[in-house]
Amino acid sequence: MISKSTLRIGSWLQTGSPVIAELADESGFDWLLLDLEHGCGTEANVLPQIQVIRHAAAIVRVGAPHPEQIARCLDWGAAGIMVPMVSTAEKAEACARAMRYPPRGDRGLAGMVRGFQYGLQREMPTPVFYAQIETIEGVQNARAIAAVDGVDVLFVGQMDLKLQLQSYPERTQLDFAACIKEVAAAAKAAGKACGMFCRQTDDFAELQALGFTHLAIETDITLLRESYRHVIQPLRAQSV
């Protein structure tokens, strides 16, 4: 069971690099997101990254709710799974079943996998399920999704949600601020956590006041990009 009130700071890993994953882990994050949806790495890069993440919780965002991919990532030792575009309670229930063994789910059992320390332990911790709310439909169904047994975190995908609001204004009267308040309220009502991906310029205090506790700050790519620019731009300016 995860905390619904303690701030848990994470970050996005999109390069697929075990070196960067290890550095991020040593830097003090509470959780790290290995991105198979939009990241540069492939499924083959997941295990090497999980192996070097020793302090933070390694969460894998799958590209789609494929049960076999979810099961493999958990067998490799991922602490949890994030699934994009969870727009209905039925989708959330299917994802939760893919993460659990019978009788609560449909996941296949293999006792010799890394998640069981190659057979040296008998039980695997229950994985954390981050359900991404990033569509208008997802916001409208947020309370039903939060009520699903197995959903731990309602995680707002702000880029896609903002794009939906811009693209289909006729589908809702809510703006983005109202949407995230609705998701936070849905999580609170169900006793679940809520989270969101943030930029360094976002107001963490305001999000925490709304009830957001699982906040991800930047990606390895954006942090590297800004660090490189910080180095090169003053040098370019001096050379003029």
Report the candidate in 3, 7, 2, 1 with the shortest Cα–Cα distance to residue 217.
7
**Residue 1: inside a domain:** no
Active site residue 230: no
**Residue 229: inside a domain:** yes
Range of the domain at 24: 8-239
Global pTM value = 0.94
Contact 95, 86 (CB under 8 A): yes
pLDDT in tens, 124-165: 889 999 999 999 999 999 999 999 999 999 999 999 999 999
**Residue 162: inside a domain:** yes
What ranges in 66-172 are assigned the alpha helix state H?
Answer: 67-75, 89-99, 136-140, 142-146, 158-167
Q: How far apart are CA 125 and CA 77, in angstroms?
A: 10
What is the total residue count of the chain?
A: 240
More confident position, 218 or 4: 218
Contact 130, 187 (CB under 8 A): no
**Residue 111: inside a domain:** yes
Given a cut of 80, whether residue 9 has pLDDT beyond it is yes
**Burial tier of 137 (Cβ tally within 10 Å: 0-12, 13-18, 19+):** middle
Point out which residues pair with 214 in neighbouring strands.
Answer: 8, 195
**Residue 219: inside a domain:** yes
Mean pLDDT over all residues of the chain?
95
pLDDT in tens, 38-94: 999 999 999 999 999 999 999 999 999 999 999 999 999 999 999 999 999 999 999
Instruction: Give pLDDT, residue 189.
Output: 98
Contact 74, 44 (CB under 8 A): no
Q: What is the CATH number of the domain that holds 211?
A: 3.20.20.60
Please count the structural domains in the chain: 1
Report the candidate in 136, 131, 128, 149 with the shortest Cα–Cα distance to residue 182.
136
**Residue 60: inside a domain:** yes
- Confidence band of 5 (pLDDT split at 50, 70, 90): confident
User: Tokens 């679940």 identify what position?
Assistant: 192
Q: How far apart are CA 240 and CA 80, in angstroms?
A: 50
pLDDT in tens, 174-213: 999 999 999 999 999 999 999 999 988 788 899 999 999 9
**Residue 12: inside a domain:** yes
